[in-house]
């Protein structure tokens, strides 16, 4: 069943907690709803549109004068199983961490390091989420959805999804054209723990031996100690991407700032820590109106309560301008800015 609502408040639908309205808001509960709706509503074709998950990677800077479509398709279904692995199909509307908890309970390995990442499963392949040395594309077998140019159901194999760092076919080439309705994951029944991430093994030790449950507990504890809970302070996680620069640029910067962390990632390029640059530029804990840079993690901008999207956006501009001036490094936003 689908439901269309006019002038729909989005405050509860974005983790920044920005008070804005969607001109039209459509919730869909099954994969046939979207084609049905478009066949019956010709005017919808002319509207701009936004597929919405849990709104944990978006910043609304004004009311949205188009059609917001939110898939609320639920269900976790074991579709195949052998001695070594399982395949599980998960509806786009299933909260991601609910699925991670389910897998840990069942003894299915592969996504335990992605515990507590906010958002819904439909956005997982779009964003190619990642954390603590694991990226979602390592466990995705198939992405299913509706292509709005044909209104047909379409599936993409892992190879066809063009996964990249926090990006995919769905985020770039098929943006606002393809709505993910479900994702099929392939998970292992035997352990292949990824505990190399700095400080993770030590944290796991506090809970006992290395197993799925203790990895999940350790990651939740680390995340909770570092990142603000969106229910307390609205935020969208890392606001900026870690800049990737030529090695020559990174090492000349390191000459003047020996403590600068540098992460060579091959082919003469180096990843820098955006949070370090922002912190070093003096922004940690600083406020701009009701927006602020988090006092524990400079990469996160928070809504202290009642901030507008433009206030948060302006703060991000001030930070990026300052980092450019001080270090000659361009910061690119990871959070998607959604305008009118």
* Residue ranges binding ligand FAD (CB under 6 A): 15, 50-58, 71, 92, 117-120, 122-124, 126-127, 129-131, 166, 170-171, 179-180, 227, 230, 235-237, 336
**Number of C-beta neighbours around residue 314 at 10 A:** 15
Query: Which residue number, 281 or 335, has a Cβ lying nearer to ligand FAD?
Result: 335
The catalytic residue among 85, 87, 176, 334 is: 334
Active site annotation includes 166: yes
Pick the closer one to ligand FAD by CB: 277 or 338: 338
Cβ burial 152-175 (10 Å sphere, 16+ → b, else e): eeeebebeebbbeebebbbbeebe
Q: How far is the C-alpha of 13 from the C-alpha of 23, rounded, in Å?
A: 14
| In the complex, residue closest to ligand FAD by CB | 53
Q: Among residues 131 and 318, whose Cβ is nearest to ligand FAD? A: 131
Cα angle: 43, vertex 47, 50; to 5 degrees: 130
Q: Considering the candidates 115, 168, 182, 238, report the single residue annotated as catalytic.
A: 238
Rounded to a whole number of angstroms, the minimum distance from the CB of residue 96 to ligand FAD is 7
The residue (of 230 and 250) whose beta carbon lies closer to ligand FAD is 230
Residue pair 167/57 in contact (Cβ under 8 Å)? The answer is no
Q: Give 250-313 as a DSSP string.
A: HHHHHHH-TT--EEE-STTEEEE-HHHHHHHTT-TT-EETTEEE-SS-TTBEEE-SS--HHHHH
Q: Closest Cα to residue 4, out of 32, 44, 39?
A: 44
> To the nearest whole angstrom, how small is the minimum distance from the Cβ of residue 72 to ligand FAD?
10
Q: Is 238 a catalytic residue?
A: yes
Q: Which of 166, 223, 314, 333 is catalytic?
A: 166
Q: How far is the CB of 228 from ligand FAD (least distance, A)?
A: 7
Q: Shortest distance, CB of residue 234 to ligand FAD, whole angstroms?
A: 9
Catalytic residue numbers read 166, 238, 334
């Amino acid at each position: 069943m689908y439901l269309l609502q006019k002038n729909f408040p989005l405050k509860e639908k974005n983790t920044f907690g920005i008070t804005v309205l969607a001109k039209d808001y459509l919730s869909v509960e099954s994969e046939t709803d979207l084609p049905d709706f478009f066949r019956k509503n010709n005017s919808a074709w002319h509207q701009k549109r936004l597929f919405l998950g849990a709104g944990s990677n978006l910043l609304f800077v004004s009311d949205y004068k188009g059609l917001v479509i939110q898939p609320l398709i639920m269900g976790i279904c074991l579709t195949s199983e052998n001695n070594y692995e399982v395949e599980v199909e998960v509806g786009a509307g299933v909260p991601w961490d609910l699925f991670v908890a389910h897998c840990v309970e069942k003894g299915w390995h592969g996504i335990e390091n992605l515990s507590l990442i906010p958002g819904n499963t439909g956005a997982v392949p779009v964003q190619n989420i990642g954390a603590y040395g694991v990226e979602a594309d390592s466990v995705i077998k198939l992405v299913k959805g509706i292509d709005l140019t044909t209104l047909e159901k379409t599936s993409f194999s892992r190879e066809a999804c063009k996964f990249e760092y926090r990006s995919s076919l769905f985020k770039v080439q098929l943006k606002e054209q393809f709505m993910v309705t479900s994702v099929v994951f392939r998970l292992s029944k035997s352990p292949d723990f990824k505990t190399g991430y700095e400080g993770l093994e030590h944290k796991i030790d506090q809970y006992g031996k290395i197993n799925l449950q203790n990895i999940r507990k350790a990651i939740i504890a680390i995340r909770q100690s570092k990142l603000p809970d969106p229910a307390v302070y609205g935020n969208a996680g890392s606001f900026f991407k870690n800049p990737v620069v030529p090695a020559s640029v990174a090492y000349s910067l390191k000459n003047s700032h020996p403590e600068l962390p540098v992460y060579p990632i091959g082919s003469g390029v180096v990843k820098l820590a955006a949070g370090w640059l922002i912190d070093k530029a003096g922004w940690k804990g600083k406020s701009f109106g009701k927006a602020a840079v988090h006092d524990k993690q400079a990469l996160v901008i928070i809504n202290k309560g009642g901030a507008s999207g433009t206030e948060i956006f302006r703060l991000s501009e001030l930070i990026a301008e300052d980092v450019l001036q001080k270090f000659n490094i361009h910061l690119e936003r990871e959070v998607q800015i959604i305008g009118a």
